[in-house]
Structure 1
Amino acid sequence: MTNSEIVDLLELTGRLMELHDRDAFKTRTFQSAAFNLDKSTADLGNLPVEELVKLPGVGKSVAQKIREIAETGHLTDLDELLAQTPEGVLDMFRIKGLGVKKVRTLWHELGITNLRDLQLAGENGQIAKIKGFGTSTQEKILAALEFLQEQQGKVRMDKAAMMANLLQDELSTHFERVELSGQVRRKAQEVDVVQLLIQTSDPISAMGTLNTLPNLHQNEVESSPFVWRGQLTGFDVQVELLLYPAEQMNRQLFIHTAADPHLRQAGTGGIPLLQIAYASNLPDVKNPTATAVADAEKAIYQQAGLPYIVPEMREDDFAFRWASRHSNEELVTWDDLRGTLHNHSTWSDGKQSVADMAAYCRELGLSYFGIADHSKTASYAGGLDAERVHQQQLEIDELNKGFGDEFRIFKGIESDILSDGSLDYDDATLATFDYVVASVHQTLTMTQEKATTRLLRAIENPYTTILGHPTGRLLLAREGYPIDHRAIIDACAEHNVIIEINASPYRLDIDWHWIDYAMQQGVMLSINPDAHNLVGLLDMHYGVAIGRKGGLTKAMTFNALTLEEMSNYLQNRRKNILK
């Protein structure tokens, strides 16, 4: 069992104990352990009880529960609670704004045990009548339900890529050529179909092989002789496996990668790109390397009289408009990144020290690491008050002494944007940082006018260097708060503020559709991982993918600046502030 799986089970146990009104002390014990262990880097599953009790928030009782989880994969206490809890009640915890007490009230007072009943109760006005709820809460619940319904059957980019790679590895042991296609290949931020193309000259035999694989479950009604549809065990998203002979693979890979609006774009003589692709005469690629596949697809665009578009950008006609001003060679790549900004350490809610995070950045070949731990308002995340800011900066000074001129840690902070748009430190404290990432984390239910005004004031603050995750969205879980993107981007241009592409696959915020407008206004974008551990630093891969989808160039990528360029930029900016 991984740490996250163990913590999830402890957290769910604490939540269900509270739901069933069990002993308050024991409930808090589970909740406290889950909260503290979420930051732990210890290998929880392999520690004995006598070592577990040395960890923050872990007493002997919880330590024994952890051992039970590690050894059996289950927790008896949790299994008993789950047996007493309707499955639909657990689904209610997915509704934004519904804590344990409200879920318990809805269950016990209205007898609601599933999301359908919850929606009916809201539509009938029953929820608003409950003490402590009201019309406003009822409307928020209905809006959250509508959002969840829209997200059903989808997974984030990271999970889709994991599924697709697992399938490709498994299928490649049975078939000569297997290619990732569809939404996964063009790096969609949300995926409702994980699609792969399989090369075979015998589709009947291939279907038989697919149905022998233990983790694949076919939907016979949705399948056809040349298309296997179903699901992969453990994932609630459709899997689609398309069967083609060798001579069709390149053409079909191109067709199935691009979205319909892209394929409808007119090529030579007004003929749609899709029609030209079907008519193209592409040779079989004997050695289907990425370069060979790209060459085959370039031939299709060439026959259409259109510029070659990289897979990430094959969404609609935007790519062709972009290509009239740029070349594909300008698009940002992972290798273009020189450093990383907006990261968290054990000083706030991260799992690794500043030193360990910086060391891993050096292993990745980066030349600078920017720490941006949470600020004092984020007390729930161990936010830093002014004294702890000073202590962290002293630590960074010591670490920097050992790096020479080839690497540097920059002193940053993720300063909370308060409800009125001000930052949560005074100017004297803000002046001590190399840069400031200004982000909203609380009070997310403002109108568009108020939310925009709030961000505009933060952008106007001379200490704001980067606007962090501008809408605060969590993909498949929470809609972003409404903002006037044009007004925000225009203000960033006026005040020389960088906009973040939060590379966490949970966020990918700012949305890729606004990247080109930002660049046109002269606003640089920073691909920030918002990393809370070493692995999180690799999330910049997702940020690069989304950046490329939106046409982000290396020249407009903030953290593609070299160490010297970044140092000069930040120093000059601070000098201008202090004039």
Structure 2
Amino acid sequence: MTNSEIVDLLELTARLMELHDRDQFKTRTFQTAAFNLDKSTADLANLPVDELVKLQGVGKSIAQKIREIAETGRLTELDELMAETPSGVLDMFRIKGLGVKKVRTLWRELGIDNLRDLQLAGENGQIAKIKGFGASTQEKILAALEFLQEQQGKVRMDKAAMIANMLHDELIKHFERVEVSGQVRLKAQEVDTIQLLVQTSDPVSAMLTLSNLPNLVQNERESSPFVWRGQLNGFDVQVEILFYSASQIDQQLFIHSAAEPHLKQAGPTGVSLLQAAYTTTDTVETAIYERAGLPYIVPEMREDDFAFRWASRHHNDELVTWEDLRGTLHNHSTWSDGKQSVAGMAAYCRELGLTYFGIADHSKTASYAGGLDAERVQQQQLEIDELNKGFGDDFRIFKGIESDILSDGSLDYDDATLATFDYVVASVHQTLTMSLEKATTRLLKAIENPYTTILGHPTGRLLLAREGYPIDHRAIIDACAEHNVVIEINASPYRLDIDWRWIEYAMQQGVMLSINPDAHDLAGLLDMHYGVAVGRKGGLTKAMTFNALTLPEMNDYLQQRREKIRG
């Protein structure tokens, strides 16, 4: 069991205890333990009780619960609570804005115990009549339900890649060649079908082989003699495995790894890519593009004709790669809600071959995340000064902050405090329900602030969980160009915000983009891989990638910016 899995079970236990009006003291014990352990770097599953009780927020009772989870994968107390709770009530916790008290009210007072009944109650106006809800809450619930329905059966990029790799590693034991294709190869940020191609001359035997593999559940109605469709146990996403002969697989890998609008693109002779794939004798992908008379396009960009417009101005070797990244600028430490110290994060960056690490812990308004007041800012910066003394000229920690953009668009520090940072990431974290006009105006004011260096996760979206607030992307990008503000590609697979479709416009306006992991632990730093993927999908070049600047270049950039502010 991983730490996050253990914490999730403790949190769920606390939530259901509150739902069922269990002992308040015991409920708080679970809540406190889950809150503190979420930041712990200890290997919870392998600690004995006498070591667990030394951790903050963990008493002997909770320590014994953790041992039970680690040894059995379950918690008896949670199983009993789950048995008393309709599965549909658990689903209601996924609705944005519905906490335990509201879910309990809906269940106890209206008898709603599933999402379908919740939707009907909202459509009939029953929710608005409940004390403490009202028409506004009812409207938000209905909007959240609609969003969840649209996301059903999808997984994020990171989970899709994990599932595809698991399947590939299992299938390659039985078949000569297996290729990951479809949405995963296209680097889609949300995936509804995990697709793989298998090379075989005997589809009947191949189907029998798949039927004997553990954890694969076939949907026989959706399958055919040449296509296995079903699911991998534990994951709510369709799996599609297609069988092709050795002579077909290269051709089909290309066809299944490009969107239909891209395949329809034709070259000077009128031959489309799809036609070229079926008519060329050499079926490797470069030869298919050559047969159509079109420039070769990397897989992640094969969406529509955008890639060819891009290719008229750029070459593939200009696209940003992981190796191009020289540093990372949006990260959190134990000073706010991170799980590692500044020193630990910086050390891991050095192991990754990066030459600078930027800390951007939460600011004072984000009290829920341990945000830093002015005094703690000063303390952290003294720590960074001491750490930097131990580095040579080849590495540096930059002093940043993720400053909250308040409702009126101002940042949540005075100018004297903002002036102490090397750079400022300005982000919205609270009051997310806004009209397009309100959200755009709020961001524009933050962009105009001379201390704003990077605009963080511009729409605040959480993929598959929360829609972003609406913004006028062109107006925001134009303002960033005017005020020399970098835009973040938040590389967390939960966000991937700004959306890749706006990268080309940003580059055209001369706005650089920073691939920021928003890392809260060491593993989070590796999320920059996802940021690189969506950056490449949108045509991001190394030249327009902010954190591809070398350490001397970044030093100069930030120094010149500070001097300009001082006037």
Indicate whether the TM-score tops 0.5.
yes
1:312 corresponds in structure 2 to 300
CA distance in structure 2 between the aligned counterparts of 1:128 and 1:261, rounded to whole angstroms: 45
Q: Does 1:444 align with 2:432?
A: yes
TM-score computed with the length of structure 2 as normaliser: 0.99
CA distance in structure 1 between the aligned counterparts of 2:35 and 2:506, rounded to whole angstroms: 38
Q: Does 1:393 align with 2:381?
A: yes
Q: How many residues are paired up?
A: 567
CA distance in structure 2 between the aligned counterparts of 1:14 and 1:69, rounded to whole angstroms: 15
SS at match of 2:482: helix
1:429 corresponds in structure 2 to 417
CA distance in structure 1 between the aligned counterparts of 2:172 and 2:298, rounded to whole angstroms: 25
Asked whether the equivalents of residues 504 and 539 of structure 1 are also in contact (C-alpha less than 8 Å), the reply is: yes
CA distance in structure 2 between the aligned counterparts of 1:70 and 1:205, rounded to whole angstroms: 40
TM-score computed with the length of structure 1 as normaliser: 0.97
CA distance in structure 1 between the aligned counterparts of 2:136 and 2:262, rounded to whole angstroms: 41
* AA in 1 matched with 2:463: L
2:177 corresponds in structure 1 to 177
Asked whether the equivalents of residues 269 and 293 of structure 2 are also in contact (C-alpha less than 8 Å), the reply is: no
CA distance in structure 2 between the aligned counterparts of 1:88 and 1:520, rounded to whole angstroms: 48
Residue 273 of structure 1, CA deviation: 1.7
CA distance in structure 1 between the aligned counterparts of 2:159 and 2:262, rounded to whole angstroms: 25
1:533 corresponds in structure 2 to 521
CA distance in structure 2 between the aligned counterparts of 1:200 and 1:313, rounded to whole angstroms: 29
Q: Does 1:467 align with 2:450?
A: no
Deviations 1:141-172 (A, max 9, x none): 00000000000000000000000000111000
Q: Which of the numbers 381, 400, 406 marks the counterpart of 1:412?
A: 400
CA distance in structure 2 between the aligned counterparts of 1:172 and 1:496, rounded to whole angstroms: 50
* AA in 2 matched with 1:320: F
Q: Which of the numbers 336, 347, 361 marks the counterpart of 1:348?
A: 336
Residue 47 of structure 1, CA deviation: 1.1
SS at match of 1:552: coil
CA distance in structure 2 between the aligned counterparts of 1:219 and 1:75, rounded to whole angstroms: 32
1:224 corresponds in structure 2 to 224
Q: Does 1:497 align with 2:485?
A: yes
1:140 corresponds in structure 2 to 140
CA distance in structure 1 between the aligned counterparts of 2:241 and 2:331, rounded to whole angstroms: 38
1:286 corresponds in structure 2 to none
Residue 536 of structure 1, CA deviation: 0.4
SS at match of 1:188: coil
1:378 corresponds in structure 2 to 366
CA distance in structure 2 between the aligned counterparts of 1:70 and 1:245, rounded to whole angstroms: 46
Residue 269 of structure 1, CA deviation: 3.2
CA distance in structure 1 between the aligned counterparts of 2:36 and 2:261, rounded to whole angstroms: 48
* AA in 1 matched with 2:443: L
Residue 484 of structure 1, CA deviation: 0.4
Residue 54 of structure 1, CA deviation: 1.2
Map residues 16-165 of structure 1 onto 2, 5 A cutoff: 16-165=16-165
Deviations 1:30-60 (A, max 9, x none): 0111011000000111111111111111111
Deviations 1:426-456 (A, max 9, x none): 1110000000000000000011100100000
CA distance in structure 2 between the aligned counterparts of 1:200 and 1:333, rounded to whole angstroms: 34
Q: Does 1:333 align with 2:321?
A: yes
SS at match of 1:270: coil
2:534 corresponds in structure 1 to 546
Deviations 1:176-211 (A, max 9, x none): 100010000010000000000000011111111111
Residue 72 of structure 1, CA deviation: 1.3
SS at match of 2:256: helix
Residue 398 of structure 1, CA deviation: 0.6
List runs of 5+ in structure 2 lacking aligned partners: none
Q: Does 1:192 align with 2:180?
A: no
Residue 235 of structure 1, CA deviation: 0.5
Alignment RMSD: 0.7
1:213 corresponds in structure 2 to 213
SS at match of 2:527: helix
* AA in 2 matched with 1:317: D
2:498 corresponds in structure 1 to 510
* AA in 1 matched with 2:125: G
Residue 266 of structure 1, CA deviation: 2.1
Asked whether the equivalents of residues 440 and 472 of structure 1 are also in contact (C-alpha less than 8 Å), the reply is: yes
CA distance in structure 1 between the aligned counterparts of 2:184 and 2:269, rounded to whole angstroms: 31
Residue 76 of structure 1, CA deviation: 1.0
CA distance in structure 1 between the aligned counterparts of 2:519 and 2:13, rounded to whole angstroms: 27
CA distance in structure 2 between the aligned counterparts of 1:190 and 1:126, rounded to whole angstroms: 34
Residue 268 of structure 1, CA deviation: 3.9
List runs of 5+ in structure 1 lacking aligned partners: 284-295
CA distance in structure 2 between the aligned counterparts of 1:538 and 1:70, rounded to whole angstroms: 27
* AA in 2 matched with 1:521: Q
Residue 271 of structure 1, CA deviation: 3.3
CA distance in structure 2 between the aligned counterparts of 1:515 and 1:137, rounded to whole angstroms: 35
Asked whether the equivalents of residues 229 and 239 of structure 1 are also in contact (C-alpha less than 8 Å), the reply is: yes
Residue 275 of structure 1, CA deviation: 1.9
Asked whether the equivalents of residues 193 and 240 of structure 1 are also in contact (C-alpha less than 8 Å), the reply is: yes
Residue 325 of structure 1, CA deviation: 1.0
Q: Which of the numbers 441, 459, 471 marks the counterpart of 1:483?
A: 471
* AA in 2 matched with 1:467: L
SS at match of 2:514: strand
Map residues 151-300 of structure 1 onto 2, 5 A cutoff: 151-282=151-282, 296-300=284-288
SS at match of 1:231: strand
CA distance in structure 2 between the aligned counterparts of 1:299 and 1:351, rounded to whole angstroms: 49
Residue 272 of structure 1, CA deviation: 2.7
* AA in 1 matched with 2:143: A
SS at match of 1:527: strand
* AA in 2 matched with 1:216: L
SS at match of 2:429: coil
* AA in 1 matched with 2:144: A
* AA in 2 matched with 1:529: P
* AA in 2 matched with 1:546: V
Question: Identity over the aligned pairs, expressed in percent?
Answer: 86
CA distance in structure 1 between the aligned counterparts of 2:260 and 2:95, rounded to whole angstroms: 33
SS at match of 1:217: strand
SS at match of 2:526: helix
Asked whether the equivalents of residues 273 and 304 of structure 1 are also in contact (C-alpha less than 8 Å), the reply is: yes
CA distance in structure 2 between the aligned counterparts of 1:65 and 1:488, rounded to whole angstroms: 49
Asked whether the equivalents of residues 250 and 282 of structure 1 are also in contact (C-alpha less than 8 Å), the reply is: no
CA distance in structure 1 between the aligned counterparts of 2:270 and 2:215, rounded to whole angstroms: 45
1:11 corresponds in structure 2 to 11
Deviations 1:547-578 (A, max 9, x none): 00000000000000000000000011001101
Asked whether the equivalents of residues 330 and 358 of structure 2 are also in contact (C-alpha less than 8 Å), the reply is: yes
CA distance in structure 2 between the aligned counterparts of 1:541 and 1:453, rounded to whole angstroms: 32
* AA in 1 matched with 2:204: I
